[in-house]
Structure 1
Amino acid sequence: MPEISPAIGIGELARRAGCKPETVRYYERIGLVGDASRTVGGQRRYGEEAVRRLTFIRHARDFGFSVDAVRELLAMSDQPDMPCQEVDAIAKHHLEEIEARLQRLSALRDELRRMVSQCAGGKVESCRIIEVLGDHQLCISDQAHGGAHDLG
């Protein structure tokens, strides 16, 4: 019979999952981590399942999965006998998004390199970087216009 470990507090849970207690509270608030049991004094107490679940969440978030995707993946992981086509579809969709972001980042990098290389280092009135930022038509790639604000 496996040894049952004693319930741990929020600080220990956070430490073992590699995050901060505020992160645990946030995931509780949005329903990704179940409500903890409480001591008579009101302190949260968690078991090994909470450690596994929070570790899964943190790892999925490190891979860039959205909170909604993590919610779906958790729901599916709670049903180990179901086929994994839906899990695969979520991962493939995420991969496609990452590849599209990488293309936009690459175009943005290339455009920035070009702007910097064309700057003569004179006065701002004749600065190529300022000129290009003020006129999108001077950019080589339309993908650079997607910009960094679309990358997060």
Structure 2
Amino acid sequence: MQRIGELAGACGIKPDTLRFYEKNGLLNPVNRSPKGYRLYSEEDAQQLRFILRAKAMGFSLSDIRELLNIEASRSDWVCADVKGMVEAKVDELQTKIDEMIRLRDSLQTLADACCGGAESAIHCSILDTLETK
């Protein structure tokens, strides 16, 4: 059993992050010390590591909650359910990548159009473009 600071430190997060996951129903430590401190079991630690890995993969809290539900009752689900979630996340990420590429290209076009010299910015093509409605 670990206290909140110990588990948080072992996972490289702050205790407030653990409290946040509890508040949002992703973790529910049932054990308390005689003084009322939260005590986390190895199962709680495994669940936290699952949450952190899912978060690192870009899943939202809602997604993670659903993944935890699936994890808790694997026999009630099929792999296609989980794969569908991952494929939706891939599509979402691809959309963001496409948007970022368009943004990068637009910024590069602005930068390329600018002389970049030491002249006054009175006639700066970048500022002029941003002012255009």
Q: How does the TM-score come out when normalised to structure 1?
A: 0.80
Aligned to 1:131: 128
Aligned to 1:74: 68
Task: Tell me, yes or no, if the aligned pair for 1:14 and 1:21 is still in contact at 8 Å.
Answer: yes
**Any stretches of 5+ residues in structure 2 without a counterpart?**
none
Structure 2: distance between partners of 1:90 and 1:18: 27
**Any stretches of 5+ residues in structure 1 without a counterpart?**
1-6, 137-152
Task: Tell me, yes or no, if the aligned pair for 1:28 and 1:34 is still in contact at 8 Å.
Answer: yes
Task: Tell me, yes or no, if the aligned pair for 2:27 and 2:47 is still in contact at 8 Å.
Answer: yes
Aligned to 1:150: none
Whether 1:91 and 2:86 are equivalent positions in the alignment is yes
Q: Deviations over 1:23-53 (max 9, x none)?
A: 0000000100013421121211000111111
Aligned to 1:17: 11
Aligned to 2:25: 31
Whether 1:117 and 2:112 are equivalent positions in the alignment is yes
CA RMSD of aligned residues (A): 1.4
- Give the secondary structure class of the aligned counterpart of 2:26: coil
Count of aligned positions: 130
The list of structure 1 runs, each at least 4 consecutive aligned residues, that deviate by more than 6 angstroms after superposition, is none
1:116 Cα deviation (Å)? 1.2
1:17 Cα deviation (Å)? 2.3
